Amino acid sequence: MFNLTFLGTSCMKPTKERNQFSLFVSYKNKGILIDCGEGTQRQLKHAGIKLSKINKILITHWHGDHTLGLPGLLQSMSASDYNGTLEIYGPKQTKEKIGYMFKAFEFDNKLDLKVIEVKPGRIWEDEELFIEALPMKHSVPCNAYIIKEKDRWKINASRIRELGIPSSMVSNLQEGRSIKVKGKEIRPEQAATIRRGQSIGIILDTAMNENCYKVAQDADILVCEAVYTSELGEKAEQYLHLTAKDAALIASKSNVKRLVLAHFSTRYKNTHDLENDARTYFDNVISAEDFLKVQS
């Protein structure tokens, strides 16, 4: 199960109610921060999320509204008793930009940082989860991310006995691999049932493109930008952003369970029009506000 906490839901400019964009995704003891708009570290404090809970930072792109909070956050993490390696993933030039950042701001960096410039596809995995990045279409290099729990096979103990499978081989089936017992091949589905892993798709600044559907495919939760209503569709295209209708169309064509809209233009005093715009095309939609928590 994933827990999402929205730390900022505005786009370029913050408002009294909305910080620049940032989202914290946690899964058991893993914590992933996606983007870090200005003021994110105070938002983390308000949300009660300790800095030590952040293991990874995924940067979608280097526009200021997604990264201006990074120097402050890293300074605070460095000054606290953060231990372990902090991994920062981002598009090309991320290493160079982090280097500039440390040159521009005077502080003693005690963090063990690992900066990774991602290529399309799987960028990280462990035994439970994996993360994928796919390029988007924006005015600067920009990635969308998928955070997915791995599929698990649930073993049927009586079938294991019937088929005479030794206990030492059961883990292969649990990981989806076929085994050979007394010369006979046994496929996982003969002794286990699949439990599909949950997934979260995160699409921020982009014009509509084919990869949006790949990120959204079968997502339990799709977080998608909705800068404007469809009335301002031309403006969205011009500035390489998505409307609420675009977000809903992506969700409806990709078997998404729940759509959460975010990254709103400051022209909207509330999100009624954005949500209604989306709901015409996809029912299960809400709009995020700062500190909204969503569980998968």
Residues serving a catalytic function are 65
Cα angle 85, 86, 92; round to 5: 125
For residue 131, the minimal CB distance to Zn ion (Å) is: 20
Q: Contact 150/128 with Cβ under 8 angstroms?
A: yes
- Of residues 65 and 87, the one with the C-beta less far from Zn ion: 65
Q: Which of 45, 47, 26 is nearest to 290 (CA)?
A: 47
For residue 5, the minimal CB distance to Zn ion (Å) is: 19
For residue 63, the minimal CB distance to Zn ion (Å) is: 4
- Reported residue count of the chain is 296
- Could you tell me the two tokens for 81? 């008793």
For residue 157, the minimal CB distance to Zn ion (Å) is: 51
CA distance 218 to 216: 6
CA distance 237 to 205: 11
CA distance 245 to 207: 12
**Footprint of Zn ion on this chain (CB under 5 A)?**
11, 63, 65, 205
- Of residues 132 and 205, the one with the C-beta less far from Zn ion: 205
CA distance 79 to 111: 9
Count of alpha carbons within 13 Å of 134, Cβ hemisphere only?
17
For residue 212, the minimal CB distance to Zn ion (Å) is: 15
Instruction: List the beta bridge partners of residue 85.
Output: 112
- Of residues 18 and 63, the one with the C-beta less far from Zn ion: 63
- Of residues 21 and 82, the one with the C-beta less far from Zn ion: 21
- Of residues 205 and 246, the one with the C-beta less far from Zn ion: 205
